[in-house]
């Protein structure tokens, strides 16, 4: 299947990059470090997968307020008595915010953690089945 080039989308991506934002569900990042996140959609749900290795699940908060989902947590550095010779892993707090589309069943959102990856499932509301409306005579 050929890939369609959308010059307008490319221009919006460039404009967002110039002001330090991303397009789509994600919003500007906050915190000492930023876990990489994938956001994708299927017919029945949106999915958010965040790489948070070294962060125990009990130190991760996932909250929904209105149409905003927040993932926050903290990765500890470890003992301060250590003498590091090389320090590349970032520690400290992190937070990611996502603007949610309408039509989600926010009361059915689920989050799970496995092998350092947080997965959040945001189910879409299902349309109620159609029904016939009887016409009454006046």
Work out the mean pLDDT of the chain and round it to a whole number: 83
Cα distance from N-terminal residue to C-terminal residue, the chain: 57
Residue 113 pLDDT > 50, yes or no?
Answer: yes
Q: Using the Cα atoms of residue 34, residue 40, residue 46 and residue 47 in order, give the sign of their dihedral.
A: negative
Residue 126 pLDDT > 60, yes or no?
Answer: yes
The CATH number of the domain covering residues in 20-77+91-120: 2.60.40.790
Residue 1 pLDDT > 70, yes or no?
Answer: no
The reported pLDDT for the residue numbered 85 is 83
CA distances from 25 to 29, 37, 47, 112 (A): 12, 11, 11, 20
Q: What's the pLDDT tens digit per position in 45-66?
A: 999 999 999 999 999 999 999 9
pLDDT band at 31 (very low <50, low <70, confident <90, very high): low
Q: Which residues are CB-contacts of 81 (< 8 A; sequence separation ≥ 6)?
A: none
Residue 76 pLDDT > 90, yes or no?
Answer: no
Using an 8 Å Cβ cutoff, are 95 and 31 in contact?
Answer: yes
pLDDT band at 112 (very low <50, low <70, confident <90, very high): very high
Indicate the pTM of the whole model.
Answer: 0.70
Over residues 27-39, mean pLDDT: 76
pLDDT band at 72 (very low <50, low <70, confident <90, very high): very high
């Amino acid at each position: 299947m050929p890939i369609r080039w959308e010059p307008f989308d490319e221009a919006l991506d460039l404009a967002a990059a110039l002001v330090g934002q991303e397009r789509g569900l994600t919003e500007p990042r906050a915190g000492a470090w930023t876990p990489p996140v994938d956001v994708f959609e299927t017919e029945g749900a949106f999915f958010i997968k965040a790489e948070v290795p070294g962060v125990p699940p009990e130190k991760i908060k996932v909250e929904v307020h209105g149409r905003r989902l927040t993932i926050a947590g903290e990765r500890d550095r470890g003992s301060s008595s250590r003498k590091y010779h090389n320090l590349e892993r970032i520690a400290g707090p992190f937070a990611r915010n996502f603007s949610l589309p309408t039509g989600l069943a926010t009361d059915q959102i689920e989050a799970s953690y496995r092998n350092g990856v947080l997965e959040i499932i945001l189910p879409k509301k299902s349309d109620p089945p159609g029904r016939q409306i009887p016409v009454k005579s006046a």
